[in-house]
A and B are shown apart, each in its own frame.
Chain A
Amino acid sequence: MAELERHSFDVLVIGAGGAGLRAAIEAREHGMRTAVLCKSLFGKAHTVMAEGGIAAAMGNVNSNDSWQVHFRDTMRGGKFLNNWRMAELHAKEAPDRVWELETYGALFDRTADGRVSQRNFGGHEYPRLAHVGDRTGLELIRTLQQKIVSLQQEDHAETGDHEAKLRVFQEFTVSDLLVEDGRIAGAFGYWRESGRFALFTSPAVILATGGIGKSFKVTSNSWEYTGDGHALALRAGASLINMEFIQFHPTGMVWPPSVKGILVTESVRGDGGVLRNSEGKRFMFDYIPEVFKEKYADSEAEGDRWYTDADNNRRPPELLPRDEVARAINSEVKAGRGTEHGGVFLDVSTRLPAEEITRRLPSMHHQFKELADVDITAQPMEVGPTCHYVMGGVEVDPDTGASSVPGLFAAGEVSGGMHGSNRLGGNSLSDLLVFGRRAGTGASDYVSALPVRPVPSEAAVAEAQATALAPFSGEGGENPYTLHMELQQAMNDLVGIIRKAEEIEQALERLEGLKARARTLTVEGHRQFNPGWHLALDLRNMLVVSECVAKAALLRTESRGGHTRDDYPGMDPEWRRKLLVCRTTGPSEVDVEVKAQIPIREDLLELFDRGELEKYLTGDELGS
């Protein structure tokens, strides 16, 4: 076998989305020799799909906004299950992270006095989302990408080498982390292009790999979202929390079939779009839950007035948090009031003039025109829920992003806790920036303080290599594409938006079967750019993560945020105090345990009315 390619860095960042790039920038600015490893080309990460904006309480449009209000909204959105420290840091630091992007060259839409404009979004009390039309994610990724280039140019001016301190390895997939004596020692993976392996020695790894949506059939996520970081962390010995909470975005495209699941931005509703069923009724007024009654309009007239006079009216219920809207759409379709293709109508054409729609929602207009042949300035869109985001992820220290494994850090969607049981729209991009930066600092500090760097053992490297090559060894085994389709179908149908015990148990059975069959996977062809082989390796990750999701979903006998149990429809304050933690217990076994939630800090609790807290907290937490 050819000589193994070897690299050595101070910090490895896995994933080149918003969190990964922000972490890499931070690590490099701390003087660390940093590598970014990403599955796709540099600049193609799934962050580009984010449309609405970056939530940050800058108060540019409504000066009543503050970090406290943002913190409250985030906790409410997550049904108080959030890691409150993360929610606090996030609300406090998001504005600085947005302003920082401007110094990197970002061009947000502006207010009349030239500041960053902010738009309304579901669950946010004030206009809060810094945005660029409906392509904010693209702006974010491009800005960070260009900042990295600018740092590389500085390094080039100094050393003559662009990649002296910060190097991007694109189309490189990490298949295993290497751990020595319980500490991170490096990472092992393959080049997509050639199939050749490479070993990265590094004392710190920052996971920024995003989500797990590709385990579900209807999803807004791209092929990369196979839960790699979640699985890498598990196998390295770290724990995942909140894996039962999966956000189904209420508005994905439902027609034509080939684009089913592709996202329709929440900005459509933020800018005036309304949801109607096949009878033409604005049904969301029937679905305002008790806890939100005071915050949302109970008549169409009031809801409509809110768009122009937000101070004196309550917001329309189309802007409820995503979990509520997704469940409402699901119920309408189940009750037979859905559209021909199994969705509901989202209409902005009767609410705004055509020019305004194309100005504010250009990429939605383009997307529907090109993919569905629908002109959204004249016709309603057909939409339905789509798997969008996993609230659960690696359990991390809020301030540094450190996991329980020394040297392993996580930021962004792959980390857990920040969003509790449900994420607010716009809080994802700010999460990436705030905790990407913190993980970069955390990893740098860890590396600086480390007396001796662990070295990966040759045995571990050989094992990683053998695992990666396994799909080529057999003959006539299962086709990875078939297995993947079955997994997606099972998760979608049995651990989807509405769950019940029998179905989850059924899903676990099917997962066992799929795991057994996955051992005999075979792929054709050779290692050079072979998507069948890549899928076979990704499947290993998807299966283990899906098991965490299903096991946690079965244990949590309540409904909260992104976890709805048909057999336990109520929210239970006792369950708010419990986190479900997923760990590996064997080579491909995982187990989920209950862990107590840390009580919310007193001064943060005081930000809420007692009346509101009573809806979420138990009596003894309230001290009565």
Chain B
Amino acid sequence: MGYQGNFRVWRGDADGGGLEDFTVEVNEGEVVLDVIHRLQATQAGDLAVRWNCKAGKCGSCSAEINGRPRLLCMTRMSTFTEGETITITPMRTFPIIRDLVTDVSFNYTKAREIPSFKPPKGLAPGEYRMQQVDVERSQEFRKCIECFLCQDTCHVIRDHEENKEAFAGPRFLMRVAELEMHPLDEGGRVDAAQEQHGLGLCNITKCCSEVCPEHIKITDNALIPMKERVADRKYDPIVWLGNKIFRRQP
């Protein structure tokens, strides 16, 4: 059943580091995180890795496996062949702390820059009425477990550190979309999406959607609809005129 698997794990910190080779036992039904834990318990007691629930629900164990951003706990060993060498590296986009652990504070900073839910005036707690069809779009985005793999894979900041200032990243542009589509939110968010959160930097190459472990359709359901809303307000005189004449609220 079990076999000896070959692994290359990046070890080091801000001062430097590199890939180290390990041979570790692999058993049936295991995921990559199990192997990392065995490595910790038997060969490298101080190997740093971040994890919590081990069930794909908390989004802590984000890393890159064979160069692809993945959750360590949701990557089954059976997806690899026995002879294959599996390379495990920390997320590239964020500063390294140690081994597989990165400093993800960028994401918390960005979260603070998104204005919060603006509750409707005149409605007391318990008086909120919303239809299921109206909450479903935002509910999809609220499935997000904040693993930040979309932020990691997005080339806008992965390949261009200098864009971090201007760009909120897919996770937080999706947060803007979530609030924009919230049936009772009263904050106008479209202009800010473009002007403050860097929606225009997104070139919809869909890597965020590809890596999302929750299979949220970030690009199709959040980013593109936000781009279309921006187009409504800023680049579509017909819609603009229609809204002016009929005083319509979409």
Contacts and interface: CB of A to CB of B under 8 A. Distances in A.
Interface of A: 40-44, 46, 48-49, 58, 95-96, 99-100, 102-105, 107-110, 113-115, 117, 132-133, 135, 138-139, 142, 146-147, 149-150, 152-153, 156, 162, 193, 222-224, 255-259, 262-263, 362-363, 366-367, 370-373, 479-482, 523-526, 528-533
A19 B40 CA distance: 32
B129 interface: yes
Contact of B131 (A99, A102, A110, A373): A110
B46 A105 contact: no
B126 A224 contact: no
29 contacts: A40-B60, A49-B57, A99-B126, A102-B125, A103-B125, A105-B182, A107-B130, A107-B138, A110-B132, A132-B139, A135-B143, A153-B115, A153-B116, A193-B103, A222-B53, A256-B30, A257-B30, A258-B30, A259-B31, A263-B55, A362-B143, A371-B74, A371-B76, A479-B41, A481-B41, A528-B13, A528-B98, A530-B45, A532-B46
Given A152-B112, A193-B97, 17 more contacts: A41-B60, A49-B55, A103-B128, A107-B142, A110-B132, A110-B135, A113-B129, A142-B146, A162-B112, A193-B103, A222-B52, A259-B54, A479-B41, A480-B45, A528-B48, A532-B40, A533-B46
Nearest to B133: A110
Interface of B: 13, 27-31, 34, 40-41, 45-60, 74, 76, 78, 97-99, 101, 103-104, 108, 111-112, 115-117, 119, 125-126, 128-132, 135, 138-139, 142-146, 179, 182, 185, 214-215
A501 to B, nearest CB: 33
B30 A114 contact: no
B58 A49 contact: yes
Contact of B46 (A117, A142, A530): A530
A259 B55 contact: yes
Given A102-B125, A138-B145, A258 B55 contact: no
A256 B29 contact: yes
A115 B29 CA distance: 42
Contacts of B52: 40, 44, 46, 222-224
8 shortest interchain CB distances as A-B pairs: A256-B29, A525-B46, A105-B117, A150-B116, A114-B129, A99-B125, A532-B45, A529-B48
A362 B145 CA distance: 14
Contacts of A259: 29, 31, 54-55
A150 B125 contact: no
A113 B125 CA distance: 16
Nearest to A530: B46
B126 A146 contact: no
Given A41-B104, A103-B119, A531-B40, A526 B142 contact: no
A48 B53 contact: yes
Contact of B48 (A41, A95, A149, A530): A530
A282 B237 CA distance: 65
A116 to B, nearest CB: 8
B51 A223 contact: yes
Nearest to B183: A107
A603 B101 CA distance: 56
Given A142-B142, A259-B55, A105 B116 contact: yes
Question: In the complex, which of the residues B49, B57, B74 has the most CB atoms of chain A within 10 Å of its own CB atom?
Answer: B57
B182 A524 contact: no
A114 B131 contact: yes
Contact of A363 (B54, B57, B97, B104): B57
A580 B76 CA distance: 44
Question: In the complex, which of the residues B29, B103, B139 has the most CB atoms of chain A within 10 Å of its own CB atom?
Answer: B29
Given A150-B116, A531-B40, A531-B47, A258 B57 contact: no
B46 A526 contact: yes
Contact of B130 (A41, A58, A114): A114
A258 B229 CA distance: 45
A33 B140 CA distance: 35
Contacts of B179: 105
B202 to A, nearest CB: 22
B28 A256 contact: yes
A292 to B, nearest CB: 31
Nearest to A523: B45
A152 B108 CA distance: 12
A95 B125 CA distance: 10
A256 B78 CA distance: 12
A104 B55 contact: no
B173 to A, nearest CB: 16
A104 B58 CA distance: 21
Contacts of B214: 366
Question: In the complex, which of the residues A41, A133, A222 has the most CB atoms of chain B within 10 Å of its own CB atom?
Answer: A41
Contacts of A49: 53, 55, 57-58
Contact of B182 (A48, A107, A530): A107
A228 to B, nearest CB: 14
B98 A529 contact: yes
A123 B56 CA distance: 28
A60 B54 CA distance: 35
B117 A104 contact: yes
A94 to B, nearest CB: 12
B112 A258 contact: no
Contact of A138 (B13, B28, B57, B99): B57
A268 to B, nearest CB: 15
A117 B144 CA distance: 21
B45 A524 contact: yes
A537 to B, nearest CB: 14
B103 to A, nearest CB: 8
Nearest to B111: A149
B29 to A, nearest CB: 2
A257 B132 CA distance: 38
Given A153-B116, A258-B31, A528-B98, A523 B46 contact: yes
B59 A367 contact: no
Contact of A529 (B99, B129, B135): B99
B24 to A, nearest CB: 13
A117 B135 CA distance: 12
Contact of B135 (A42, A107, A256, A481): A107
A146 B55 contact: no
Contact of B58 (A96, A222, A533): A222
A105 B242 CA distance: 31
A224 B215 CA distance: 27
A88 to B, nearest CB: 20
A425 to B, nearest CB: 17
B54 A222 contact: yes
B126 A371 contact: no
B75 to A, nearest CB: 9
B143 A138 contact: yes
B59 A258 contact: no
Nearest to A262: B55
Contacts of A103: 119, 125, 128
A157 B27 CA distance: 54
A258 B33 CA distance: 9
Contacts of B31: 258-259, 371
